[in-house]
Amino acid sequence: MDEKDWRILKVIAEEKNVTKASARLFISQPALTYRLKRIEAELGARLLTRVPTGVVLTPQGEHLLKYAEEMLVRLAIVKDQVKNMESKVEGPLRLGSSGIFAHYVLPGLFKGFLGRYPKVEISLKTGLSFQIVEMLERQEISIGIVRGEHEWSGEKVLLTEEPVSLVSSDAIGPDELLTRPHIRYGTDTSLKKMLDEWWRLNFDSPPKTTMEVNTMDIARQMVLHGLGWTMLPRIGLPEGDGLCVQPLFWPDGAPVVRRTWLFCSAPAKELQTVSAFIDYAASELQAPARR
């Protein structure tokens, strides 16, 4: 088996359909079927079984898939290392990011970085922060940008530290928070826990939640139309929208903040593309010193 075979097995496992897999791999279905039969003959085992909706891997196929995924990751790492052996900043940069950060910050950051290093080839995956950490642990990416506090033993760079604020269409006092409609939005566990803890320390009863939406943008739009209040980190608050923004504070007077971190492993940091991106991102976002 080689790299092409590993990718064939991975794509078939994802698509669960030979026709869809062949289209995604840009090869004909007969050619894909022939290659699968050759792999099965080489190994002396059936890798797929047909079901009404398509195909699924046999236990032997599942076992081989784990090997294929591991080899694809190892190969990507080796390719990165080989292409980064010279002192030039060029070649692949495999990066994962929190969806919120990717939406609001990464486009401009990438544009500036590629303007300085045009021969870098960026590969991006987005998701919730805990998913990005998992991608790093599986070595699917070289850099992870995560929101909030997460366990990580490798390199950590603090990119931003932004205030979290009470956001409403007009100024409201603490007592009004209990009676005015609250808009909750979907976010990762770390921010949800922080907001819940702030509320618990300040109030004895839950907020009057009338809307639960799935994004920060939707919550802000609802607030813009006077339909309630919410709590947002600064990243979700474009300037000039006319909203009333009141920073939140803990009982001891410390501001409630939301941090964005850049994580990478020690071996990944040795790659020229990774090191260059860390330096560029830290300087552009005016981050404090690394720790």
Q: Is the pLDDT of residue 284 over 60?
A: yes
Q: Is the pLDDT of residue 1 over 80?
A: no
Rounded mean pLDDT, 273-280: 92
Band (pLDDT 50/70/90 cuts) for residue 241 is confident
Rounded mean pLDDT, 262-280: 89
Name the percent of the chain lying above pLDDT 70: 96
Query: Between 209 and 38, whose confidence is greater?
Result: 209
Rounded mean pLDDT, 111-132: 94
Q: Is the pLDDT of residue 289 over 80?
A: no
pLDDT at 85: 60
Q: Half-sphere exposure (CA, 13 Å, Cβ side) for 236?
A: 24
Highest mean pLDDT among 39-43, 80-84, 192-196: 192-196
Helix, strand or coil for residue 288? Answer: coil
**Fold classification of 3-80 (topology level):** Arc Repressor Mutant, subunit A (1.10.10)
CB atoms within 10 A of CB 41: 9
Rounded mean pLDDT, 184-212: 92
Could you say which DSSP state residue 151 is in?
-
pLDDT at 6: 85
Ranges 66-80, 113-127, 205-219: which has the least confidence: 66-80
Name the CATH code of domain 91-291 (choices 2.60.40.10, 3.40.190.290, 3.40.50.12280, 3.40.50.10680): 3.40.190.290
The pair of structure tokens assigned to 62 is 């599942």
Strand segments (E) across 68-153: 91-98, 120-127, 143-147
Q: Is the pLDDT of residue 86 over 70?
A: no
Ranges 63-77, 111-125, 180-194, 217-231: which has the least confidence: 63-77
Taking alpha carbons only, the member of 205, 219, 197, 215 closest to residue 177 is 205
pLDDT at 287: 42
Residue limits of CATH 3.40.190.290 in the chain: 91-291
CB atoms within 10 A of CB 238: 11
Q: What is the mean pLDDT of the chain?
A: 89
Query: Between 288 and 176, whose confidence is greater?
Result: 176
Band (pLDDT 50/70/90 cuts) for residue 270 is confident
Rounded mean pLDDT, 220-236: 94
Do residues 144 and 96 make contact, with C-beta atoms less than 8 angstroms apart? Answer: yes
pLDDT at 43: 87
Residue limits of CATH 1.10.10.10 in the chain: 3-80
pLDDT at 288: 47
Q: Is the pLDDT of residue 291 over 70?
A: no
Q: Nearest 10 degrees: CA dihedral of 42, 46, 49, 55? A: -30
